[in-house]
Chains A and B, each alone.
Chain A
Amino acid sequence: MSALSLFIFSVGAFWFIVFWFFRLNPKWALLAACIFLIFDPIFLFLRIPVLNNEINMLGVLFFTAGCILILLNRNVPTNSSQG
C-alpha cells in the first residue's frame, strides 16, 4: 500500500473519530464528501492525476464515515427529513 493511500486512510479514520466523539452531525461528513468529489474534476482538469484520485478517495471515505454514523444512529438529528 502506498504511503499516500495510508495517509488518506488515516485522515479518514481521524475524522471519523472526531465526528464520533464530538457528536457532529453526519451531514457535515457527507458535505465534506461532496466537496471532495466536486473538487476531483478540477484536479483532473488541471492534469494532477494522482492527487485527483486521492481527493476522490477521501470523498468516498467521508461518505463511508457518514453512512456508518447514520446507520449506528449516532448524532442523527431527530427531525431529519424522511423524503
Chain B
Amino acid sequence: MFKCYCLKIVLNVIWINLPFLKGIIIMQLNEKRQSIITWILPLIVYLLFSIVIFWQLAFLDGFTINADYSFPQTPSGFIKLVFPFWNDILGNSTIERLPQLPLILLAFSIGTLLNLTSQQILGWLSVIFSTSAGIGIYSLIHFCRKGNPSYQLSNENMWGAFFAGFVYMWSPFIVGQAIHPFIRFSHGILPFMALSFFKYYETQQKRFIVLSAILWALITCSVHWIIYGPMLFVAFTIHWLFYEIKNSERQWKLIVENIIFSLRSLFLLVIFYLGYSAFWFLPGLFMGGVSLYGDRPIIEVYDLLYRNATPSRITRFMGNWTIDGKYITRNPIFNLNIVFLIFLWSSILAFLLAMMALYFNPKDRYASFFSLFSIIIFFLLVCAYISSDLFAIFLTDLPFHDYYAWAFRSPKFQVLLLLAVAVLDGYSVPVIIVKITHLIDKLLIRFKKQKWPNLFRSSFFVLLIVLQLFAAWPLTTGDFNGSLTPVTIPEEFQILQEWLEQQDDYFYVLWIPTYFDGTVDWNLNRSIKDFIFDNSLTPVISNNKPRLNLVDFIWDTSFTSEALLLNKSRNIGKYLAFLGIKYVILHDDISNKKKQISNIREVLLAQDDLQLVDNDFDILSVFENENFRDIFGASTSALWAVNNFPILEALVTVDSYHPFNYPLIFAKQNDLIPTDFNGINLRLLADNSITYEDLAFCNLTKKEIISLGNYVDDSSWQSYDLMDPFFRNYILQQAVSVWDIPFGSSGAVSLRKNGDIHPTISLPFKCQESNQWEFFLRKLDSTAGGILNLSIKDVLDHTIVSFEVNTTNSDKNSFNWVHKSVYLSEGSYSLEVVNEFGLNVLDCFLLFTNDQYNDLLTKADNFLTDYPVIINFPITDSIINQSFPLELNLEGIYRFTHKKEVDYQIFINEDELELVNESKTSWKSSKSLQLNGTAVNLTITTNHTMNETIGSNIWLYQLVNESETLTSVFNNSDNIDIRYTLKEAEINMYTTELAPFLLWVTKNYNEFWKLELQGTYSDPFIVNGAILGYIIDSSLENDFKILFLPTFFFEIGFLISLTFGIVSILGFVILYHNLFSRRLMEFLVKRTK
C-alpha cells in the first residue's frame, strides 16, 4: 500500500514536470549537438565495461561470500546491520558502519521496491559507481583543461579523457579491493567530489561547497574518507593559495583576502559535512571519538598490510596486501614469460604517461597540482618501504597521530594516487597521440598514403586501452577471477533460521566450530568470516570474526579448548545459559575440521543438559540448552575472582556451581573494589598463586596504573593490547598462550634472539619526597620467556639499582609481579628495562611510598577478614608430592575438599588431615580447621599417576556456618522476581525485591549501557568476563531501566542530518529549476524569433 502511494507521488511529480524536462532536453540537444558523442557515448561505454566487471553479481542468482565480502541475503537484513544503532554482536563497531546508512537506506529501499536480493543490489550499485568513476574522471579532465584557451573538444582530447577515465575505473586498485564494495563505491564518488570542490574555487559559488560536503558525506560510506577527504581538500587549497599569491604580484590585500576566503571555504565545508554526518558524528563523539576506530596494531601487522607497498607495486596500483591471489590463473598463456613481461609493462603504463603531463602543460594549475599531489601520496605510500622508522614516526609521534593513524592501517589511500595519475593521463595522452600522428605523418608523407595517420592514431588509442585491460585482467572475468563467484547456500541454513525465529524467547544461538581457516564444502576456494552473523534472524554468538569482544575471549579460551574438548563437565549448558545461549548449532561443512567436529559432537551429546533437537538436517545439528532461563538474571551473592582468568576452568568441574546463582566478577576487569558491592554477599575466589600484592592492587583504580605501552618509543619494544586478536595471534606464534586480563590499558612486548640489539624501554617517573619507594612491574612468565634487565637511573644517567629478572616458566604462562624496594631521594628518575633474551611481555608499572604500600596491604588484610575465601589448588607437577607454603596467612575456620575420583592426602604443617566422604555428593572433605593468621605449610600427595590427576582440583574454603559443604555454598539460589519489557536499545524492568541485588544482562559489556534508577545514570561493570552487570538497590525504587545512551544522540543527530539533507535538496531543486527555466525561456524566445 505504502509502496504504491510512494510510486504514485513520484510518477505524478515526473508527469507534472514532463513538459519542462522535455524542453530542457530539446534545448540541450540544440545547444550542444555534440553532446551525444562527447557525453552519452563514453557513458554507455563505461557502463558496458562496468557490467563486464560485475555481471555475475548483478545478474546471477546465488550469494557471494568471501572474507569481508559477506552480507545479509535480504535487504532488510542489510539495513539491520547498520540500524538499530545497538547491535549485540558488533557492539561498538556498529558506529563504523553507520556512515553507510544514507547510501544503504536509499539503495536498499529502491531495491526492495524492485524485488532485488541484496546481492543484486550490491552488484548494481557497483555497476553504477564504477560507471560514475569513469565518467567522473572524464568530466573532471574536461573541467580542468577548459581553463586553457587552446583547449577544444577535439578527438584527441576526448580520447585522452576517455582513456584517463578507463585507467581510473579499470585499475588493479579495484582488483585489490574486490571484497570491499564500499571502498569501491567511494572510489566512484571521488572524481565528482574533487570536481565539485575545484569548481567552487573556480566559480566561488557556494552551492559547490555544499555539493562537496554532500559528496564527502556520501563518500564516507568507507570511513577512511573522514581522513582522506581533508588530505585532498587541504592539499588543493594550499596549492590554490600558492597560485593566487604568485599571480597577485605582491598585492597584499588580495593575498590576505584569498587566505581568508580559503579558510572560510574549508570552515563552511566542515560545517556542512558535520551537518550531514551528525547521525554518526554525534553518537561517535559521545562514545569516545576516534578511539572507537580500532586500536593501532603492532608493527608486525603494518609489515603485513604494507608488504606489497613497494615503489614498483605502488606505481602499478598493486599495493593491496592480498592482490596476488586475485591474479592467479591456470591458463597456460599467462604463464608465458613474454605475456608476463607485457603485463609488467602494461601495468606501469598509466603512471609512465602521467609523468609527462606537467611537461606538456607547464602553466596548467591542475596539472601542477596533481603532479605534486601524486608525488606526495607516492612517498607516503612507500614510506613504510623506504624507512619503517620514518613511518612509525608518522603513525605514532607526529601531533594528532591519534586522530589520523587509524586510517593508514593499510595502503588504501592508493586511490588518491590513482585519481592524480588518471587526471594527468588525460593531459598527456592527447599530446602523445598528436605527436605520434605528426611523426607518422612526416614519415608517411613520402609514401603519399593520406589515410594512414588516422589509422595509426586509432590503433595507438586501441593499444593503450588493450594494455590497460590487460593490466587489470581479473576484471574481465566478471567475478574478479573467482573471488566473487556466487554460490548456492545449503537450504538448511534458511530453514533453521526461520525455525529459530519462530521460538518465542529472546535468546542467543551459538554456532560452532569457527569457519576461520576452514575449507567449506559449499564455498570452496573462498573464505568465510561473518556469514552466520550476517544472515541470522536471531542474535548469534560465533567466533568467526576476530573482534575485541569478551564473549569471544571466553570462547577462544576456556570452553572450546579446555572445557568442551577435554570433556571436563557434563553440564556445559549452565555456562552457555549464563551467556544467554539457548541453542548450540554444530555445522559439519568444513572438510578440514571433520575430526574436531566429531569430537565436539561427542562432547555435546554427552552433556546432561543439552538435548539434540530432532530434525532432518544433514549438515546442521541443533542442541537445545535445558538450563537456559532468560537473557538476564539476579542474585544477592557473587564471587570476586582475584587473580587468574582461567579460574573459570576450575569452576567448571564443580557440579553444583551455577553461574546464575553465583555470578563471577573478575577484579582486574572492573574499576571497582569489593566495598562497592555493599549489600551483596561476596566471596573471594582465587587460585593458590594469589599473593598479597594481587589482593592489594584490587584497590587501585585504572588511573593509578601506569601502562607500559604508553612509553614505547623504540621500535624494538612494541605496544599491544592483550585483547587485540592480532597480538594474541602474534604471541601464539611463539607458542605462548596467555589468557589473563590486562591490568593496565596497554603493555609492551619484545622478542630478542641471539645477536639482535638489546631492546630497551625507558619509563620516566618522579619521586615527590625522599623515602623508601616500592616499585612493581607486571611481566609475563612463559615457556618462551627469557631474561630482563631492570635498572633505575637518575637524571645524570647514574645507575642507582640494577638487577636481572628471569621470565621463564616451564609450567604455565602467567603474569607475575616484580617487586623491588629502593630508597630514592626527591627528584626525577627513569626505569630502564632491557630485554636480554627471549620473548618478554610487560603490562604495567606501579610506584608507591612505603607507607602507601603498607596501607594497601592493610586493606588487603581487611578483605581477608571481611569476606569468606575460597582457594583453588589446580593439581600440577609443581605442587604435588612436595611441601609448599600457603601464600596468604588465613584466619578463620576452613575446610579442604576435593572430588572423590582421585585420592589425595593433605598434610598441614606435617599433620595429616583426615578426609571423609560427604553424604549424597561426590566429594570428600576434611573436618573443619582453625587457621589463626600464621604461615602454613601444605603438602599434597597422591598414589595416582599424573595422567589420572590432570584437570583435578583441591579446594580450600572458609566456613560461614559449621555444616557448609562446597556443594551447599554454591547451591545458593535466589528467586528475585523481575518483570521486564524489551526494546532494541532499552529494557524497562520492575521488581518487588527490596534487598540490593546484582543484576546481569546477557549483552556484550559496553560502558554506554547505563542503568537509570531514580533519574540518575550509573555505569555497568563486567560480569563473568563478558556481560553487563549492575547493582540495583530496589529499596529506592521498584522501576528501573537499562538503556544504551548513545541511541539518544543518534536520534538527535539523525534529525539534524535529515533537516540538512532535506533543506539542501530542496535548495538545489529550486536553484536548478530557476536556472533552467531562465535558460529555457531565453532559448524559446530565441527560437520563435
Which A residues lie at the B interface, using CB under 8 A?
Answer: 1-2, 5, 26-27, 30, 33-34, 37-38, 40-42, 44-45, 52-54, 56-57, 59-60, 63-64, 66-67, 70-71, 73, 76, 80-83
**24 A-B pairs (CB sep. < 8 Å):** A1-B389, A5-B386, A27-B359, A37-B348, A38-B345, A38-B352, A40-B315, A44-B312, A45-B344, A54-B311, A56-B312, A63-B355, A63-B375, A67-B358, A67-B371, A67-B372, A71-B372, A73-B362, A82-B148, A82-B363, A83-B150, A83-B361, A83-B427, A83-B430
Contact partner of B148 among A37, A38, A44, A83, CB < 8 A?
Answer: A83
Chain B residues, CB < 8 A from A56 = 310-312, 315
Nearest-neighbor residue (CB-CB) of B386 within chain A: A5
- Chain B: how many interface residues by the 8 Å CB criterion? 38
If A1-B389, A76-B362 touch, whether A53 touches B312 (CB-CB below 8 Å) is yes
Most chain B CB within a 10 A radius of its CB, from A27, A52, A70: A70
* CA of A58 to CA of B878, assembled, Å: 62
Instruction: Give, as a whole number of angstroms, the nearest-CB distance from B471 to chain A.
Output: 12
* CA of A36 to CA of B491, assembled, Å: 56
Contact partner of A70 among B351, B362, B387, B389, CB < 8 A?
Answer: B362
Q: Is the CB of A70 within 8 A of B360?
A: no
Contact partner of B355 among A34, A41, A52, A76, CB < 8 A?
Answer: A34
Chain A residues, CB < 8 A from B337 = 45
Decide if B38 is an interface residue (CB 8 Å cutoff): no
Instruction: Give, as a whole number of angstroms, the nearest-CB distance from A62 to chain B.
Output: 9
Most chain B CB within a 10 A radius of its CB, from A52, A64, A73: A64
Which B residues lie at the A interface, using CB under 8 A?
Answer: 145, 148, 150-151, 310-312, 315, 337, 340-341, 344-345, 348, 351-352, 355-356, 358-363, 368, 371-372, 375, 378, 382, 385-387, 389-390, 427, 430-431
Nearest-neighbor residue (CB-CB) of B344 within chain A: A41
Chain B residues, CB < 8 A from A64 = 375
Chain B contact residues: helix, strand, loop or mixed: helix
Q: Is the CB of B312 within 8 A of A40?
A: yes
A sample of 7 more A-B contacts (CB under 8 A), given A45-B340, A70-B368, A83-B151, is A1-B389, A38-B348, A44-B312, A53-B385, A66-B358, A81-B431, A82-B148
Instruction: Give, as a whole number of angstroms, the nearest-CB distance from B648 to chain A.
Output: 48
* CA of A73 to CA of B363, assembled, Å: 9
Nearest-neighbor residue (CB-CB) of B149 within chain A: A82
* CA of A34 to CA of B362, assembled, Å: 18
Chain B residues, CB < 8 A from A59 = 315
Chain B residues, CB < 8 A from A52 = 312
Q: Is the CB of B387 within 8 A of A2?
A: yes
Chain A residues, CB < 8 A from B359 = 26-27, 30, 66, 70, 80
Contact partner of A53 among B151, B310, B340, CB < 8 A?
Answer: B310
Instruction: Give, as a whole number of angstroms, the nearest-CB distance from B867 to chain A.
Output: 58
Chain A residues, CB < 8 A from B360 = 80-83
* CA of A73 to CA of B368, assembled, Å: 12
Chain B residues, CB < 8 A from A34 = 352, 355-356
Chain A residues, CB < 8 A from B382 = 57
Instruction: Give, as a whole number of angstroms, the nearest-CB distance from A46 to chain B.
Output: 10
Contact partner of B387 among A5, A27, A54, CB < 8 A?
Answer: A5
Most chain A CB within a 10 A radius of its CB, from B145, B362, B368: B362
* CA of A70 to CA of B386, assembled, Å: 26
* CA of A18 to CA of B1020, assembled, Å: 68
* CA of A57 to CA of B344, assembled, Å: 16
Q: Is the CB of B352 within 8 A of A37?
A: yes
* CA of A54 to CA of B430, assembled, Å: 30
Instruction: Give, as a whole number of angstroms, the nearest-CB distance from B418 to chain A.
Output: 15
* CA of A54 to CA of B312, assembled, Å: 8
* CA of A67 to CA of B350, assembled, Å: 17
Nearest-neighbor residue (CB-CB) of B431 within chain A: A83
Q: Is the CB of A37 within 8 A of B315?
A: yes
Q: Is the CB of A67 within 8 A of B387?
A: no
Chain A residues, CB < 8 A from B378 = 60
Q: Is the CB of A57 within 8 A of B345?
A: no
* CA of A53 to CA of B385, assembled, Å: 10
